Structure 1
Amino acid sequence: MPLSFLDAAPLIAAILVAAVAFAACTLILQTLVRSGLAWRLATDIPNERSLHERPTPRVGGWGIVPVAVIAILATAPSMWLVAACAVFLAAVSQIDDRRGLPARARFAAHLVAVVIVIVAHPADVPWWALAVVGFLMLWLVNLYNFMDGSDGLAGGMALFGFGGYAIAALAGPASDRPLGLASAGIAGAAAGFLTLNFHPARIFLGDAGSIPLGFLAGALGYWGWQRGVWPVWFPALVFSPFIGDASVTLLRRLARGEKFWQAHREHYYQRMVRLGMGHALTALVWYLLMLAGIILANWALRFSFMGQWIAVAGWAAVVVAAGAAVDVHWRRHETRHPEQS
């Protein structure tokens, strides 16, 4: 729904929450970088599959997660279990950033967090529907990590995605506003991270940031659906560019018998960077695509049931067309420069 639908008071409150979160996250991350502690916590070493050339600290989660958790507890205390699970995933992921963990251990932690939230707050739907939603939440946790590979991309998706959640929740009744304020706080923290992550990036998100963010995207989306704030399609439409890119890439790799969890450079955003668009322009194109989807998602909340699903199908066609355009340019690039493929 448009901002004109929001009362002044909740909108001002959301802006204040986002501003405080922005300032807090920026301060934490600036301190880590200036003190040199950032490099000792976790550092990304480039390899042949990286889009970067210099070692870079992976400490974005050290700013985003504590600020996001405090924002949730302060504005939506009933979501304390979601906040606790985000902290748990951040701790496990920090171990992975520092020392590395087997894929099965990481996946088990993700599964535990998702199951805890669904079991503690079950939606009034058949068990199989909860299982499907749980699988989608689990996928969102992992795809956020897959999509964290280009300057400004994952942080920008968090800023826009949680901002979209905030607008939808704040436009509803007063009972929905805690979710909106919590979402605004996470969006503000993501904006603070972007001050150091937009190209040229001085820090990366790291698993300790991307995994909790993916979990929160799924958990808050589930929370809003379970409480009737928005339909089940809304979170998927808000994060559709991320979901589309990661899902198509995964299916392609599985079809070739490859291990989808291993590092690679086949995502659409990676190919856009390698085609010469660079990190900054690639991020901006993705921002515009996601912003358009968020505007449509909030607008479609006022449609009839059939109209909503027509909007979802129409936007899916747009995302597919955008991916097809990248595929066409990439095939031409492979023909001209096979050594770079």
Structure 2
Amino acid sequence: MEYLTLGIVLMIIMLLYFKMADHFNIIDKPNQRSSHTEITLRGGGIIFWFSALMYFIQHIQNNYFFFTGITLVSLVSFWDDIQSLSNKIRISIHFLAISLVFYDLGLFELVPIWGTVIAYILAIGLINAYNFMDGINGITGLYTLIVMGVLLYVNQNIQFFTDGIFIKYAMIASLVFLFFNYRKKAKCFAGDVGSIAIAFWIIYLVVKLILVTDSLIWLLFLAVYGVDTICTIIHRLYLKQNIFEAHRLHLYQVLSNECKIQHRLVSLFYAIIQSGVSFLVISLYQKVQDSLLFLVVIIPLLFIYSLKFYLLNKNNLSLNV
């Protein structure tokens, strides 16, 4: 009953937000680098912050740092959705928010300085990667469901590390968002406020699981996004492009825009591949060395990503799209 009530409340909040976004003209206008062609409401992902708020209200005694952090990144991201902010401001807020959860999780006491630096780089990088990958209908919602689902499975069957309800609230928010976004013509897009808020939520959980188990393999729950993002950045650096400017060089963009594959199918493809990776990670946990498991996962993903170049060449398209 609790989850049904949450779903209904979030649905009402989403509908109210649509009225506000329409009134204040909070929209996403397509351009030559977009994967969509119609004007659509932006910022529907604000539903993730509201879901976090509802959890915080019920568990106020032990979630101050997480909620403060997700509020900070949501505010600056929503502001960026309305009026573009400089990268320095956004990264500074991300750094502050990540610092709060690192302190909350005791990372500064458990990890040496060099490890802390790497943790910051990975956390801020993953937040931005999640944002980069939010470009077609359904991809953020479906991918989030998969990641949260496997985290819930691990929490219940392998290693308890957090309140299961905390994970379920994120999953319900994803389902509500998908109801409006996983359509041929999306009612709304997540916007920075959605992709960055849910990325922050996921990073908090993954870091907590890593610290509890003393294993980095849980980063592979984000392997598909990670490989696509890192390889695309390398490709763009090779082309001498500004990596902070909009582009269409992610594999999902090539599949959607250049190969004309339906957006929802591409999103489903990403979710299925990440599901397979996560199943493999869970199956081989503590059965093979972590370094070997990383290789077993990353090498096939690199091969899949390399299909982008074949598709571009096959369609006689420039690698500098």
- Provide structure 1 residue ranges, at least 5 long, that are not aligned to the other structure: 1-15
Alignment of 1:167 onto 2:191: no
Spell out, residue by residue over 1:262-311, the C-alpha distance to the aligned partner (whole angstroms, 9 max, x if none). Answer: 1111111000102121201111111111111121222233x3352x4433
Rounded Cα–Cα distance in structure 1 between residues aligned with 2:220 and 2:318: 35
Alignment of 1:288 onto 2:281: no
Q: Is the CA contact (8 Å cut-off) linking 2:27 and 2:41 kept in structure 1? A: yes
Q: How many residues align?
A: 316
1:25 to 10, 22, 33: 10
* Structure 2 letter corresponding to 1:310: L
Alignment of 1:238 onto 2:224: no
* Structure 2 letter corresponding to 1:160: I
Larger deviation, residues 116-125 vs 324-333:
116-125
* Structure 2 letter corresponding to 1:324: S
SS in structure 2 of the partner of residue 227 of structure 1: helix
Larger deviation, residues 65-74 vs 49-58:
65-74
Deviation at 1:112, TM superposition (A): 1.2
Alignment of 1:326 onto 2:312: no
Spell out, residue by residue over 1:167-222, the C-alpha distance to the aligned partner (whole angstroms, 9 max, x if none). Answer: 1112246x5351x3211211221111000111321100011111111212212111
Deviation at 1:73, TM superposition (A): 5.6
RMSD between superposed Cα atoms in Å: 2.3
Spell out, residue by residue over 1:114-140, the C-alpha distance to the aligned partner (whole angstroms, 9 max, x if none). Answer: 122223433322221121112101101
Alignment of 1:207 onto 2:199: no
Alignment of 1:67 onto 2:51: yes
Rounded Cα–Cα distance in structure 1 between residues aligned with 2:116 and 2:57: 25
State the TM-score, normalized to the length of structure 1.
0.85
Deviation at 1:113, TM superposition (A): 1.0
Deviation at 1:41, TM superposition (A): 6.0
Rounded Cα–Cα distance in structure 2 between residues aligned with 1:130 and 1:83: 21
Deviation at 1:81, TM superposition (A): 0.8
Spell out, residue by residue over 1:85-119, the C-alpha distance to the aligned partner (whole angstroms, 9 max, x if none). Answer: 00111111111111111111111111111122223
Rounded Cα–Cα distance in structure 1 between residues aligned with 2:122 and 2:75: 22
Q: Is the CA contact (8 Å cut-off) linking 2:43 and 2:81 kept in structure 1? A: no
* Structure 2 letter corresponding to 1:154: T
Alignment of 1:266 onto 2:266: no
SS in structure 1 of the partner of residue 137 of structure 2: coil
* Structure 2 letter corresponding to 1:315: V
Q: Is the CA contact (8 Å cut-off) linking 2:68 and 2:97 kept in structure 1? A: no
Q: Is the CA contact (8 Å cut-off) linking 2:128 and 2:196 kept in structure 1? A: yes
Rounded Cα–Cα distance in structure 2 between residues aligned with 1:313 and 1:64: 33
SS in structure 2 of the partner of residue 60 of structure 1: coil
Q: Is the CA contact (8 Å cut-off) linking 1:17 and 1:185 kept in structure 2? A: no
- Provide structure 2 residue ranges, at least 5 long, that are not aligned to the other structure: none
Rounded Cα–Cα distance in structure 1 between residues aligned with 2:103 and 2:320: 48
Rounded Cα–Cα distance in structure 2 between residues aligned with 1:32 and 1:312: 41
CA distance 1:69–1:298, change in 2 (3 Å): farther
Q: Is the CA contact (8 Å cut-off) linking 1:148 and 1:154 kept in structure 2? A: yes
State the TM-score, normalized to the length of structure 2.
0.90
Alignment of 1:253 onto 2:236: yes
SS in structure 1 of the partner of residue 89 of structure 2: helix
Rounded Cα–Cα distance in structure 2 between residues aligned with 1:108 and 1:177: 28
Deviation at 1:24, TM superposition (A): 3.2
* Structure 2 letter corresponding to 1:149: G
Q: Tell me the percent identity.
A: 21
Spell out, residue by residue over 1:49-102, the C-alpha distance to the aligned partner (whole angstroms, 9 max, x if none). Answer: 111111111122221211134235646953331121001111111111111111
* Structure 1 letter corresponding to 2:35: L
* Structure 1 letter corresponding to 2:295: A
Rounded Cα–Cα distance in structure 1 between residues aligned with 2:60 and 2:162: 9
